[in-house]
Amino acid sequence: MSGETIGLIMAGMLVVGLFMGHPLAFVLGGTAVLGAFIAGKPMVLGIVINRIFGDVLDNYVLIAIPLFVLMARFLSDSGVTDRMFEALRHLMARVTGGLGLAVVFISILLAATTGIIGASITVMGMMALRPMLQYGYDKRLATGLIAASGCLGILIPPSIMLILMSSYAPGLSVGQLFAGAMVPGICLGLMYAIYIAAIAWLKPEWAPPVREEEQISRSAMWRMLIVEAVPPLVLILGILGSLLAGIATATEASAIGAVLALLIVILRGRFEFSTFYSALLETGRTSAMILFIVVGATAFTGVFNITGGLRATQDLMRGLADDPFTLTLLMLAVVFVLGMFLDWTGIVLLSFPIFLPLVNEMGVDPLWFVVLMAVVLQTSFLSPPFGYALFYMRAIAPPDVATGDIIRGVLPFIVLIILMCILIIAVPGLVTWLPATLYN
């Protein structure tokens, strides 16, 4: 059986399994087993198993994932974000669109300290959505802003996605990817802020200022903001500073972050054994989910490669695009479409074995390409019909906010993400400047 036929059969089984609603990890693993038998090469499963347990699961970089998840839970339990948002909300009360700007800035801070999308969107939604609607914000603008801003956590370091990408991108360290994604991530957040400011200027009724009676002393708000900003800033400096300065590896930096987050919880008097236990339990669940997908995707790509499907797919892409620029656009388009149906974990693990050899073959900078992919993958949370951010927002939004409002609300932010990609393509230094400065 030819590689093209095997590729089509395995791709078809993958699509059918996902649309039947089965978990991605088991669909990937099951497709790998069926594909090996259909191809008449069941012995390849032994090779794949050896690779899973002798290579992939021995990667110490993956230890950083549960540690960063644990850090995020500790920080969420500390209540730092709630008080910072309240301070910033009152501080910007007189500014038209000020509440929306506060959401963006707090989301950037959340992204730099947690990196867990579900937690970021849920926390910001619970804190900001009802006040925004109460003060007269447009439903589409409010829900779209919270959903898009909450997704910055997979781009702004420390990002679990970048850690997983580095483990599947030979030659790229976690520190390089963190440095490369830093500027694009902050720039994308600033683009969201500029968009909110523009909407508030053009349509002030969509983003009105807080009513006068809701405002309190600015000096008191500045004091509260400074006091509440110190713990997360120390956390950010502890993680990114130690990593980017070369003092610690990604795994060591994640351990530093978990310890600092636990100290913040203790010093704020929020430590309880029940919340500590729930944090450990949630960390175990999230980490197990990610690692199950890693195992399933490794099995899928291993069988796909050995049976010839990988080579056939690469040959097809070479035939469709014969220059680096067109090939890059084609791969980004594939990632964008996959984002409508898969989460970022599956997309990264399925696409990297196909794309990265082509990238190296074409002479494209792999660091630039991987960060560009990370920006595009922001859309995987926002794109209907299966964008996870849409479901998170639906779960926390009041009944008078329709699902259609949420979908229409995220569309302008998808456009902004695409514009950010165009900007990175036009100015590659946005990605390459900081890593070159730090590591060369």
| Cα 30 from chain centre | 26
Closest CA to 85 of 129, 136, 138, 117: 129
Rg (the chain; Cα; Å): 22
Any idea what the Cα angle at residue 90 is, between residues 262 and 134, rounded to 5°? 100
The answer to whether the beta carbons of residues 413 and 144 sit under 8 Å apart is: yes
Domains of the chain, residue spans: 3-439
Cα distance between residue 91 and residue 425, in whole Å: 37
Max CA pair span of the chain: 75
* Rounded (10°) angle between helices 117-124 and 388-396: 30
What pTM was computed for the model? 0.84
Q: What is the DSSP letter of 241?
A: I
pLDDT tens-place values along the chain, 440 residues long: 666 787 788 888 888 887 787 887 888 888 888 888 887 777 777 777 777 676 666 677 778 888 888 887 787 766 666 666 776 777 776 777 888 888 888 888 878 776 667 667 877 787 788 888 888 889 999 999 999 998 898 898 888 889 889 888 888 888 899 999 999 999 999 999 999 999 999 998 888 877 654 455 666 666 666 666 677 777 777 787 787 777 887 788 888 888 888 888 888 777 888 888 888 888 888 888 888 888 888 888 888 877 777 778 888 888 877 788 899 999 999 999 888 888 888 888 888 888 999 999 888 999 999 999 999 999 988 988 778 888 888 888 888 888 889 999 999 999 999 999 999 999 999 999 999 988 76
Q: Answer for the pair 200, 97: CB distance below 8 angstroms, yes or no.
A: yes
* Contact (Cβ atoms closer than 8 angstroms) between residue 406 and residue 393: yes
